[in-house]
Structure 1
Amino acid sequence: MNGVEDSRAPKTRITARDMAQIAVFAALIAALGLPGTITVGATGVPITLQTLGVILAGAILGPRKGTAAVAVFIALTLIGLPLLSGGRTGLTALAGPSAGYLVGWIPAAFVIGLLTAWILPKYPLVPALAINALGGLLVIYLFGTLGLILRTDFGLREAVAANGVYIPGDLLKVVVATVVAKGVHRAYPGLIGG
């Protein structure tokens, strides 16, 4: 086509702007680990602010860039950087009871991003809250429950019940992420793309 790019072709190339957004959100997830952790319950799985960053990545960047941001963050922890809250590395987390929750961050960002792309450009508050709760709670809890079953002596019932202690804080994160994402999408429409 004489060097002219077909505008109808699907966008698969990552631009410098995309890479910058991915890096910023990976850094945001890392920064949200700085306040530390609160360990509650018998699971040994800490409460952190980093799941807020995962929800924001999906809700603001969409399925492709949001998932990439979370994957970059997790890759950095797996090579030994102590970026998880409490100064933990990805290998430390994967060896413990929080393994499933950490793994669940990637599909959570994807689900949130994919569903968010469907409700744009308006980003209505109630559907957005539901989407962020689905990805930020249900998807992460599903993987977390499986991780607890594999990494602890918990049975299915105990592992599911163990998530109860995290629900109030995670619901607050969902609300905060939704309000922030709504503001971002209002100020920068088209951020997620087609």
Structure 2
Amino acid sequence: MKTKDISMIAMMIAIIIVLGMIPPIPLGFIPVPIVLQNLGVMLAGIVLGAKKGGLAIALFLTLVAMGMPFLTGGSGGFSVFLGPTVGYLIGWFVSAILIGLGRSKFMETKNWGIKFLIVAIPGVLLVDLLGSIGLSIVTGMSLSASIVSNLVFIPGDTLKVILVIIIAERLLKIMNRTER
């Protein structure tokens, strides 16, 4: 792995950590707040690609498991992987890889709908589905109730996907220029 790759992975982890410093918005009816860190996760996948994006998220989650208070609200430690957000955390790792797999298609197309689907399906729908499964298992909430409660995240996550596309297009353009 090149120094540039290591630097890019470290920078993406730092961005995710900084996004975690923005206070969460608690919802009250489910024990999972609205956070901005998933924006960084989606960005890691599309900017770094599957391998490096997945590695960035795996390293971030490892730091969290080791007790670093890097999740929104300052939480960390292995216990977060036993709580109501476990499915979302697993979803972050999987989604970064899947979004990264769509990176070349994302870079090739000018079609915003395709770009949106490349990021939104794994970055929003898959994460919310895995999050719902984890929430259901940990809290005892029915899976259907858990899925319905996750619908509240869709509007905000849609805005995050749009932001990710705008940021990623610019970053990838700059990265392509510097690689030549």
Normalising by the smaller structure, the TM-score range is over 0.9
Please give the secondary structure, in 1, of the residue aligned with 2:20: coil
C-alpha RMSD over aligned residues? 1.8
Post-superposition CA distance 1:97-153 (Å, at most 9, x none): 111001110000001010122332456432111111112111101210110111012
Q: Say how many residue pairs are matched.
A: 179
Structure 2 gap segments, 5+ residues each? none
Alignment of 1:86-97 (within 5 A): 86-97=73-84
Q: Which residue of 2 aligns with 1:82?
A: 69
The answer to whether 1:171 aligns with 2:158 is yes
Residue identity opposite 1:141 in structure 2? D
Residue identity opposite 2:16 in structure 1? I
1:121 and 1:190 in contact (8 A); partners too: no
Residue identity opposite 2:159 in structure 1? L
Task: Give the Cα separation in 2 of the matches to 1:59 and 1:124.
Answer: 16
Percent of pairs identical after alignment?
36
Query: More helix by proportion, 1 or 2?
Result: 2
The answer to whether 1:47 aligns with 2:62 is no
- 1:37 aligned to 7, 21, 24, which one? 24
Alpha-carbon shift at residue 190 of structure 1 (Å): 7.8
2:17 and 2:71 in contact (8 A); partners too: yes
Q: Which residue of 2 aligns with 1:72?
A: 59
Rg larger in structure: 1
The answer to whether 1:118 aligns with 2:113 is no
Please give the secondary structure, in 2, of the residue aligned with 1:81: coil
Q: Which residue of 2 aligns with 1:7?
A: none
Task: Give the Cα separation in 1 of the matches to 2:119 and 2:162.
Answer: 8
Query: Which TM-score applies when normalising by structure 2?
Result: 0.93
Q: Which residue of 2 aligns with 1:60?
A: 47
Q: Which residue of 2 aligns with 1:20?
A: 7
CA 1:118–1:156: 2 relative to 1, 3 Å: same
Please give the secondary structure, in 2, of the residue aligned with 1:47: coil
2:49 and 2:100 in contact (8 A); partners too: yes
Q: Which residue of 2 aligns with 1:8?
A: none
CA 1:161–1:70: 2 relative to 1, 3 Å: same
